[in-house]
Amino acid sequence: MNSAPRRVEHQLTDKGYIPVYATGIVEQPWADYSASDHEVWATLFRRQREILKGRACNEFLENQERFGMAPDAIPKFEDLNRVLKAGTNWEIVGVEGLLPDDVFFDHLANRRFPVSWWIRKPEQLDYLAEPDLFHDLFGHVPMLLNPVFADYVQAYGKGGVKAFKLGPDALQNLTRLYWYTVEFGLINTPEGVRIYGSGIVSSKGESIYSLESNAPNRIGFDLERIMRARYKIDTYQRTYFVIESFEQLMRATDPDFTPIYARLQGLPDFPAGEPQAGDKLFHRGTGEGWA
Ligand code: HBI
Ligand code: FE
């Protein structure tokens, strides 16, 4: 087995050059994982499970238990798929890595979640610019066992297929929604604000920073506010959006987004870190401190 994913090319996007991978589905080469690969999984799994106690929302932690994920070895997609298909009729499919948006959307629209078959190297433990197996399996898969969230992600995928055809502005609005919910979302609970976003739960530093730093703003969920909010891909977030429930997310995808995109066309975007008039502030960040 080649030890690295098959990169097709580097594509210049508005986020700079990103590696674009072959878009086919690949079998998980479980027998080929090295002892070091399993060790990387074990180290990240143990560390994040410890940090997320009292920080991740209960749904995330309980669902991870339901999958029977454990530190001792990289989980087998086929084992997780038995639980996932029975639970919410979603399926994990192995891929080479980051996919072009339209290919990614098509998977989500059909309740398939693409998971990179490879895991990061030991020297990449703390940061990786692209989704690897740990980010996808540990971070994304548990929430797909929540029926409402599972429907939300499929609705997002269907919206993505439509937005892709509408053009780059609609696409940018929609990918911001994914970024500020699926990847970096926070949820309000009776015990306080908790994490559900995959980009946060799979990151040691951001799991702590997102709830405890004074730097970022934490703003109540608002669809159009999110669609106009720029974001950064290579630092901790300056703004997080807080939902009251996963049902709130699902309701937000009820309307047809086309007229919303049209209305937003003429309006300016908001910088990543500044609260705006009308924001429901859970916490006004100072902008100082931390990364
Ligand atoms: N591809 N494999 C993979 N995983 C992702 O999370 C992913 C992607 N391609 C595009 C993408 N995410 C985001 O730009 C979405 O908002 C579309
Ligand atoms: Fe992700």
pLDDT digits (tens, 9 = 90+) for 33-59: 999 999 999 999 999 999 999 999 999
Q: Is the CB of 149 under 6 A from ligand 1?
A: no
Whether 273 is covered by a domain: the verdict is no
Question: How many beta carbons lie within 10 A of that of residue 87, not counting itself?
Answer: 16
pLDDT value of position 272: 84
Q: Which ligand lies nearest the alpha carbon of 114?
A: 1
Whether 233 is covered by a domain: the verdict is yes
Whether 253 is covered by a domain: the verdict is yes
DSSP state of 95: E
Tens of pLDDT, residues 75-92: 999 999 999 999 999 999
Most confident of 98-102, 188-192, 283-287: 188-192
| Mean per-residue pLDDT, 240-266 | 96
Whether 289 is covered by a domain: the verdict is no
Annotation says 135 is catalytic:
yes
- Give the helix, strand, coil percentages of the chain, each rounded to 5: 45, 15, 35
Say which residues have a Cβ less than 8 Å from residue 45's Cβ, sequence separation at least 6: 69, 70, 71, 134, 138
Q: Is the CB of 182 under 6 A from ligand 1?
A: no
Q: Which of 21, 98, 107, 227 to mutate to test the pocket of ligand 1 (most atoms within 8 A of CB)?
A: 98
Q: Which residue, among 161, 169, 170, 206, has the nearest Cα to 186 in the 3D structure?
A: 206
Structural domain count of the chain: 1
Structural domain of 166: 11-264
Annotation says 38 is catalytic:
no
Cα 98 to ligand 1 centre (Å): 6
Whether 285 is covered by a domain: the verdict is no
Tens of pLDDT, residues 148-193: 999 999 999 999 999 999 999 999 999 999 999 999 999 999 999 9
Whether 166 is covered by a domain: the verdict is yes
Q: Which of 15, 99, 177 to mutate to test the pocket of ligand 1 (most atoms within 8 A of CB)?
A: 99
Backbone angles phi, psi at 23, to 5 degrees: -95, 5
**Percent of the chain whose predicted confidence (pLDDT) is above 90:** 84
Annotation says 245 is catalytic:
no
- Under the banding of pLDDT at 50, 70 and 90, the label for residue 7 is low
Whether 278 is covered by a domain: the verdict is no
CATH number, domain containing residue 221: 1.10.800.10
- Under the banding of pLDDT at 50, 70 and 90, the label for residue 23 is confident
| Mean per-residue pLDDT, 231-248 | 94
Say which residues have a Cβ less than 8 Å from residue 269's Cβ, sequence separation at least 6: 228, 229, 230
| Mean per-residue pLDDT, 253-273 | 93
**Residue 235 above 70 pLDDT?**
yes
| 3-state DSSP assignment of residue 91 | strand
Cα 193 to ligand 2 centre (Å): 21
**Closest Cα to atom 5, ligand 1: which residue?**
98
Per-residue tokens: 281: 């502030």
Of residues 239 and 6, more confidently modeled: 239
Catalytic residue among 107, 183, 198, 213: 183
Tens of pLDDT, residues 107-152: 999 999 999 999 999 999 988 888 999 999 999 999 999 999 999 9
Annotation says 34 is catalytic:
no
Q: Provide the whole-model pTM.
A: 0.93
Do the beta carbons of residue 131 and residue 116 sit within 8 Å? yes
Whether 290 is covered by a domain: the verdict is no
